Amino acid sequence: MSNKTWFITGTSTGLGRLMTERLLARGDKVIATLRKPGALDDLLAQYRGQLHVLLLDVTDATAIRRVVQQAFDHGERIDVLVSNAGYGLFGAAEEVNDAQIERQIATNLTGSIQLIRAALPHLRQQGGGRIVQISSEGGQIAWPNFSLYHATKWGIEGFIESVAQEVAPFGIDFLIAEPGPTATNFASGLDIAPLMACYENTPAGEVRRGLADGSIAINGDAVKTVAAIIAATDSKKPPFRLALGSKAYYSISEALHGRLQELEAGRNIALSVDKDG
């Protein structure tokens, strides 16, 4: 299905760039945002009339509202909004500093929340639309060294769980994409905290070594991942959550089964605290 208009954040590299390229190639229109100018100049030259680029730092809530207004003014109707801008903060919770924490939350969590909030009035007025949130397997599982990253991904998924119920009557629906480790520029874009020696012989240290020596496999294909997200978004009724990659599927499955077992083990205690009668 083509001839749609998409609004996508974080399009200079990675999945956002690949998605923009694929959509333009099939004839769709894309309103793309990025923080620094120039990254999409080649696509602007190739797809005149199809691609419109706006500058946006998603940590600026005022700028988000302004740019979303500009996007709807330009596109008149936006069929799909893709909240993709984000990055990872790497380090044990004790190692990361206050400024790193604030930036991680402002980008991945607050930025995504404000983007969705800014778009909702426009989507309501046009009679509906679809919002795609690029999350991660890290929205349902957790690795050492990524505690703040996980906090943002678990947080945005909880936010969307609620908002999806609020806006369903207006014809607005959501798709949460959860890629596993994928061959993009994510690793090179990590904000790495100064490492403390005391964590060397802990699970945090094991993960660091695994990433450094390649024993933690990065088996997701970025092109296939983007194709799967677009195909799901095109479908009449997409899944609410979409795990992408074998690593994501098996890791999330194991985590969910483990949580369900813990829940069932505590059933009697849970039921025992209701009021009598």
Find the catalytic residue in 149, 199, 247, 251.
149
Secondary structure in 3-state letters for the chain = CCCCEEEECCCCCHHHHHHHHHHHHCCCEEEEEECCCCCCHHHHHHCCCCEEEEECCCCCHHHHHHHHHHHHHHHCCCCEEEECCCCCEECCCCCCCHHHHHHHHHHHHHHHHHHHHHHHHHHHHCCCEEEEEECCHHHCCCCCCCHHHHHHHHHHHHHHHHHHHHHHHHCEEEEEEEECCECCCCCCCCEECCCCHHHCCCHHHHHHHHHHHCCCCCCECHHHHHHHHHHHHHCCCCCCEEEECHHHHHHHHHHHHHHHHHHHHCHHHHHHCCCCC
Find the catalytic residue in 12, 83, 112, 135.
135
| Annotated catalytic residue 47 | no
| Annotated catalytic residue 12 | no
Contact in structure between 39 and 14 (CB atoms under 8 Å)? no
Handedness of CA 196, 189, 110, 169 (dihedral sign): negative
CA 100 to chain centre: 19
166's tokens: 């609020």
| Annotated catalytic residue 251 | no
Find the catalytic residue in 147, 153, 199, 247.
153
Provide the annotated active-site residues: 135, 149, 153
